[in-house]
Amino acid sequence: MQYMKIGHSDLNASVITLGSWAIGGGASWRNSIDDESVAAVHTALDNGINIVDTAPIYGLGHSEEMVGKAISTIKRSDILISTKATFSWDEPNDGIYCYDMYGHHIYKNMSYDAIKRDCEESLKRLGTDYIDLYYIHNPAPDPEKMPAAETARALMDLKKEGKIRAIGLSNVQPHHIEEYIGLGCEVDIIQRKYSMLERSVEAEILPLCKKYGLSLHAYSPLERGLLAGKVKKDYVVPAGDAREGQPWWKPEKMPHAIDFVASLEDICKKNNCSFVDLAVAFLRGQGDFVNVICGGHKPEQAITDAKAGNVTLPQEDLTEIRKRIEALEAQY
């Protein structure tokens, strides 16, 4: 496993993060089993992954609880915990209503008090007295009602209090990054979706990360499993599944994505790696500031995730993969 520094912080993280959205269970992840989830975290640690990404909204607190259960039996300094603020459920607490999920009303609040309250609740669910990496989960839906200055102040106060060690921004746009940095918020990392089939971050987000010395936390590197090389063309996404509605999972585009993955077999053979390894290594090849979140709620998935952290592609293969991606995008 390779390791990297997160932004300007003192966090030394494995280049692969175990993503725990599925650990939260719920309607989107019906096959998640708690004991397996805890075992997945332990297996990840045993195989060199030392950072787990979670959030209160994942299973409405259940993901954090399971991560907390998993880390309760290990030395706290052996693992880095990444979680997020701003979403809550059932209790408005002056937040803005967003949507319903699993029969609960979901609200968003980025006020000073809400950020502090969210942090305390996450600490309780995780069973720890500090969080290594703390994100705001998506930008404010109403910047006037929830000014970034107030959110930034809460994050900085939490850091001064020792409740969090590093600050991140999730699913933000370039102007949000500039705004928070301009407010004096010590941002270390940006979390955005990034895969071979979703490269919008390359236009402005990656350059901003390089400009300010930030890390990128890339999620959905396998495009929710599509780039793993196991999906058949006749597969139908179940209603309510987490992949439903995703662009490349739509019936008219999925077969072409599957053909694209198959076309990468020669590069996999050349590098003695799997399709999963290749998808992750492509992202890592865009810069040593890229950390890849690989989801897993089973021990065998954690092992697969960890193996991907050992693969480095030569520049000629990175260039060839990009040519094939661009050819696919030009057609579809």
Question: Annotated active-site positions, please?
Answer: 58
Whether residue 88 contacts residue 107, with contact meaning beta carbons closer than 8 Å, is answered with yes
Whether residue 158 contacts residue 115, with contact meaning beta carbons closer than 8 Å, is answered with yes
Q: Could you report how far apart the first and last alpha carbons of the chain are, in Å?
A: 36
How far apart CA 135 and CA 190 sit, in angstroms, is 9
How far apart CA 269 and CA 284 sit, in angstroms, is 19
Whether residue 212 contacts residue 177, with contact meaning beta carbons closer than 8 Å, is answered with yes
How far apart CA 42 and CA 130 sit, in angstroms, is 20
From the list 296, 172, 299, the residue with the least C-alpha distance to 228 is: 296
Strand order in the sheet with 104-108: 87-89, 104-108, 96-101
Assign residue 23 a region: left if phi > 0, alpha if psi is -120 to 50, beta otherwise? alpha
Q: How far is CA 92 from CA 104, 116, 139, 141, 248, in A?
A: 11, 16, 18, 15, 35
Structural tokens at position 132: 């290594």
Helix pair 34-46, 299-308: axis angle to 10 deg? 30
Q: How far is CA 72 from CA 29, 41, 52, 68, 249, in A?
A: 24, 11, 14, 6, 38
